[in-house]
Amino acid sequence: MAAAAAHLPAGAIFDPTAGGAGTLPRSWARHFERAPDRTALADERGRALSYGALDAASRRAAGRLHGAGLRAGDRVLVSAAASFDLVVAHVACLRLGLVVVPANTAYRAAELAHLVGDARPRAAICDDAERDEALRAADLALRTLTPALALPDAAPPALDAAPPEAPALIGYTSGTTGRPKGAVLSHANLLASAESLRIAWRWSPDDRLVLALPLFHMHGLGVGLHGTLHAGATAVLVPQFHPDAVARAILRCEATLFFGVPTMYHRLLEFGNAGALRALRLCVSGSAALPADQHAAIEHACGQRILERYGMTETVMLVSNPVDGERRPGTVGLPLPGVEVRLAGSPPQIEVRGPNVFAGYWQRTDANAEAFTPDGWFRTGDLGELDAAGYLRITGRAKELIISGGYNVYPREVEDALRAHPGVADAAVVGTPSPEWGEVVTAYLEGPAPPDLAALRAFLIDRLAPYKQPRLVHAVGALPRNALGKVQKHRLRGGRITDEQ
């Protein structure tokens, strides 16, 4: 599938090294040097941080981290809400050559313990006392810090020196079996995706992005923040999404871009704030499919044709509807510059390759052998089809992943937690379509006395992040199974068991 005609302006050439920069920190350094007075970060309260100030602050932060004994290649777990301090710390980590391990701020002790045990970070940056305690309990030797990095000042070493092939980020993602595994993204991977989006979305230093997405998620971090700083543009941070806050930020900061998940667009419509989107040049939706009726409702409310795209933790962005061209609701568009996409197998599964695609999972030889084809294409686990014009449509998932509110939920992890309840003999978790959430986590429970939804969520409060907890619960006499005893999840629908085999 050729992307050049759809995404490349006349005369443009895609260079995954971004003109020789090779890494995101080196790309950012260009803006630090050439445009130190340009605003890098802003918020709706009027605070701002210039590129020159971001350079100085991240150098100071890198010196503190280096003085604390952290060296290139060390992992640093980061779990904090969006803030200027968090961005400075993140930029400092990458400039120093540290490997960032983002962690959802909703994670509970068991979830954090898995990340600590698997990635073995030497330090953690956290903004919550309860999570801080859980992290230290998972590893007594782990040094925990706040995003402000309250450490003694020290001279930093040479910065921006990590080679393109060095790991920059380990993003944990769910698969079909086992616990979440870490996708190792190199500096080159992150830069290639940012450069591809800069070209395809016509991202320029004049753009101001309202960034209400969390910075522990690839959508907010790998696309929103990294893309903004690579383009030399401005990110307007909205730490907690609320339709009123987004509308205020758009108007007060004269924003040009907004990136969101379908749940955000649903809330903007619900609260009557969708009209604020009219002032923007581009609205992007991702992490889950945007229902066709929401496409139409947004366009009716503000005239915006939402641009949908498709990406993964392992690849950052892959496919996008075009900025200059037809945006087809129900599709994720055409491959971005540098990305190759093919369909293979029956049913057809989406396979990809390109400079943005990771090389493998952290210390998971078994998973890597399954994830890549013999000729080097990454198996996404998603099923797809192409229309006559080459637009890609996601038709399902070969894996049992649920995407709720833009977050990935792995059913087995939820099922294991449910089975710990004394009233649950067995459990099956599936996704139920929702216009607000994309999908809602739905549990089918068999047992002597299955709990109701309120009791179940109270039981799970210390076991699972809220977004992983079931929003719908159905008690069944027995889960449907095949002759081998395997639960037939395709027969669970609408609170009942169908007769399909």
Tally of domains within the chain: 2
Q: Kindly state whether residues 99 and 170 are assigned to the same domain.
A: yes
In a domain, 29, yes or no: yes
**Percent of the chain at pLDDT above 90?**
81
Distance CA 104, CA 81 (A): 9
CATH of the domain at 83: 3.40.50.12780
Q: What is the pTM of this model?
A: 0.88
In a domain, 434, yes or no: yes
- In the predicted structure, residue 437 carries a pLDDT above the cut 70: yes
Query: Which contacts (CB < 8 Å, 24+ apart) does range 465-468 have?
Result: 465/104, 465/106, 465/107, 465/108, 465/111, 466/106, 467/106, 467/404, 467/405, 467/407, 467/409, 467/441, 468/407, 468/409, 468/413, 468/414, 468/441
Q: Kindly state whether residues 310 and 445 are assigned to the same domain.
A: no
Beta bridge partners of 123: 76, 143
| Backbone conformation region of residue 251, classed left if phi is above 0, alpha if psi is from -120 to 50, else beta | alpha
Q: What is the dihedral of CA 116, 118, 120, 124, to 10 degrees?
A: -30
Distance CA 300, CA 268 (A): 13
In a domain, 457, yes or no: yes
**Percent of the chain at pLDDT above 70?**
96
Q: What pLDDT band is residue 489 in, cutting at 50, 70 and 90?
A: confident
**How many CB atoms lie under 10 A from the CB of residue 301?**
18
pLDDT for residue 276: 97
Alpha helices (runs of H) in 68-200, residue ranges in sequence order: 84-96, 109-119, 129-138, 187-200
Both structure tokens of 479:
């889960």
* Domain extent for 200: 21-395
Stretch 24-49: mean pLDDT: 96
Q: Kindly state whether residues 358 and 410 are assigned to the same domain.
A: no
pLDDT in tens, 233-273: 999 999 999 999 999 999 999 999 999 999 999 999 999 99
- In the predicted structure, residue 173 carries a pLDDT above the cut 70: yes
pLDDT for residue 121: 98
pLDDT in tens, 284-319: 999 888 888 899 999 999 999 999 999 999 999 999
pLDDT for residue 474: 94
300 vs 174, more confident: 300
Q: Kindly state whether residues 350 and 482 are assigned to the same domain.
A: no
Residues 6 or more apart whose Cβ sits within 8 Å of residue 457: 469, 470
| Residue where a domain terminates, one of 338, 362, 395 | 395
Pairing assessment for the beta strands 282-285 and 257-260 based on DSSP bridges: parallel
In a domain, 349, yes or no: yes
Q: Kindly state whether residues 406 and 308 are assigned to the same domain.
A: no
Q: Kindly state whether residues 386 and 414 are assigned to the same domain.
A: no
In a domain, 221, yes or no: yes
Q: Kindly state whether residues 351 and 424 are assigned to the same domain.
A: no
Stretch 349-366: mean pLDDT: 95
| Residue where a domain terminates, one of 395, 421, 441 | 395
In a domain, 16, yes or no: no
Q: Kindly state whether residues 434 and 366 are assigned to the same domain.
A: no
- Say which residue the tokens 């005609």 belong to: 5
In a domain, 2, yes or no: no
| Residue where a domain terminates, one of 379, 395, 411 | 395
The 3-state DSSP class for residue 210 equals strand
Q: Kindly state whether residues 26 and 137 are assigned to the same domain.
A: yes
Distance CA 181, CA 175 (A): 8
pLDDT for residue 164: 98
Pairing assessment for the beta strands 334-335 and 316-320 based on DSSP bridges: antiparallel
Average pLDDT for the chain? 93
Question: What Cα–Cα distance (Å) separates residue 194 from each residue in 206, 300, 361, 399, 501?
Answer: 16, 31, 21, 27, 45
In a domain, 327, yes or no: yes
Distance CA 227, CA 166 (A): 19
- In the predicted structure, residue 218 carries a pLDDT above the cut 70: yes
Question: Cβ distance 319 to 335 under 8 Å?
Answer: yes
Residue 368: name the closest of 182, 191, 188, 119 by CA. 182
Longest dimension (CA), the chain: 69
Distance CA 83, CA 395 (A): 37
- In the predicted structure, residue 134 carries a pLDDT above the cut 60: yes
pLDDT in tens, 381-399: 998 999 999 999 998 777 7
Residue 334: name the closest of 392, 417, 258 by CA. 392
pLDDT for residue 401: 81
Distance CA 385, CA 387 (A): 7
Q: What pLDDT band is residue 140 in, cutting at 50, 70 and 90?
A: very high
Residues 6 or more apart whose Cβ sits within 8 Å of residue 85: 146, 147, 148, 149
pLDDT for residue 483: 56
Alpha helices (runs of H) in 347-398, residue ranges in sequence order: 365-371
Stretch 422-451: mean pLDDT: 92
Q: Is the dihedral of CA 379, 382, 386, 392 positive or negative?
A: negative
pLDDT for residue 175: 45
Question: Cβ distance 145 to 126 under 8 Å?
Answer: yes
Could you tell me the end-to-end alpha-carbon distance of the chain, in angstroms, rounded to an integer?
36
Helices (H) and strands (E) in the chain, counts: 14, 27
CATH of the domain at 415: 3.30.300.30
- In the predicted structure, residue 441 carries a pLDDT above the cut 50: yes
Q: Kindly state whether residues 348 and 462 are assigned to the same domain.
A: no
- In the predicted structure, residue 34 carries a pLDDT above the cut 80: yes
pLDDT for residue 178: 54
Residues 6 or more apart whose Cβ sits within 8 Å of residue 494: none
